Amino acid sequence: MRYGEKFIYDYYIKMATMCIKLLTRDFEDLIETNLLLDALSGKYHLYVSDSICDLLNTDGKIDKYLFDLNGYLVLKNILSQKTLGLMNTAIDHLESLSDQELKFQNISRHYANDNVYAKVGEKTKQGHTDYSCNILNYGEPFENLIDWPVIMPYLQEMISAPLRIDAASFMSRNTGGGFVFHHGYAELLPYSEYLFDQGTFRCASIKISYALSDVGVEDGCFAVIPGSHKSNFQNPLVGQIPDPKHPLVQPLSTQKGDAILFSEDLSHGALENRGGKVRRTLFYSYAPAFQASWGETTQVSPGFETRATPQRIELVNGPPPFEDQVTKL
C-alpha cells in the first residue's frame, strides 16, 4: 500500500471508530457532547464556570479540553465581595502614597512609560500614569491569593510538577492605556512554553488575571488570540494594540471577582481603555519550582512565615531541597 493510500485508510478507520464510540455512548454523554458544541459555538462564551461542569459532573473534562484548545479559561465570580472590598480598600491606600512612601514598604511603581509593550494612558487624580507594582509585600489579603483554593487544582493540573509563584503584581490602566500583543511562539520564549506530553499538561508558565473592577471592551479588557499558545509561527499582530473588530482577536470582558487563567505562551494583550475609568487587575504567575522567580515581585511582608500555611510558604520559597525531603523519610 502506498503512503497516500495508507493515510486515507487510517483516516477513515479513525473516523469510523469515533462514530462507533459516539453511537454507543449513554444519554448523559450525548448531553455533554451537545453542551460542549454549544460552548464552542459561542452560546456559553467559553466561560467554563457557567455551571456546565456542575450540571454534567464531568470532573473538569470540559475545562481541560477548552484550555488545551484555546489556551485560557475564564473563571466567574471566584473572589467574594468581602475579599474584593478589602483589596480595593488596600489599593485605594496604595494609590494615595507617593513613590517614595511606597519604597519604605519595599514596593516599587513601574510606570508604563518605561515598558515597550504599553500604550500609556492619561494621569489619574493622584497624578499617576499607568503602572504596575509588586503587591505581595502589601500583606493580606493579597497573600491569600497565593494558594487560592479555587485556583490550586488548575495549577497542579496544568503544570504537573512541584510549582512556585514566580511573580505577583497589581496593574493600573487609565483612560487611553493599552497593552500590545506579545508571546504566542514558544521557540522564542522557552520559559513560557505550553506542552502536553503523554496525557499530561507540562506548562512552563501559567498566569491568573484577577479583575478588581468591571472591565468591558470599552474599558480596555484583556484580549487573546485563541489557540496561539500552540502556534508554530509568530503572531502577525505582535506589537500591536488588540483591535476588538479583528477576526483573530477575542476580547474577554470580565466582572470584578472574575479571573482569567491562561498559558503565558498564549498571545495576549489589552484593548485601549476608552471607558473613562481605571482598570484594576492583579496578575499572579506560576511556574515549575526549578524556574527562577521574577525577583522583587515575590517579596512578602514581615511576619509572612508566622501566619502563612506550609503550602503558601512553599509556593513562595520553593520546595525544600531534596536532601531535606530524604531526611524526613
DSSP 64-106: HHHHHHHSEEEE-S-S-HHHHHHHHHHHHHHHHS-HHHHHTTT
Are the C-beta atoms of 255 and 211 separated by less than 8 Å?
yes
The pTM for the full model equals: 0.78
Among 37, 62, 87, which residue terminates a domain? 62
The CA distance from 78 to 55, in Å, is: 18
Tens-place pLDDT, residues 96-146: 888 888 888 788 888 776 665 566 666 655 556 677 888 988 888 899 999
293 and 198 within one domain: yes
The CA distance from 147 to 130, in Å, is: 28
54 and 152 within one domain: no
Query: Which range of residues forms the domain containing residue 22?
Result: 3-62
296 and 245 within one domain: yes
105 and 42 within one domain: no
Highest mean pLDDT among 10-14, 29-33, 199-203: 199-203
49 and 116 within one domain: no
214 and 85 within one domain: yes
Tens-place pLDDT, residues 206-219: 999 999 999 999 99
205 and 176 within one domain: yes
pLDDT at 25: 46
What is the three-class DSSP state of 159?
helix
41 in a structural domain: yes
71 in a structural domain: no
13 and 98 within one domain: no
| Other beta carbons within 10 Å of 197 | 8
68 in a structural domain: no
290 and 189 within one domain: yes
Tens-place pLDDT, residues 261-303: 999 999 999 999 888 888 899 999 999 988 766 666 788 888 8
67 in a structural domain: no
Q: In one letter, which amino acid is 249? A: V
- Identify the band that residue 168 occupies on the pLDDT scale cut at 50, 70 and 90: very high
174: domain CATH number?
Answer: 2.60.120.620
Among 62, 89, 113, which residue terminates a domain? 62
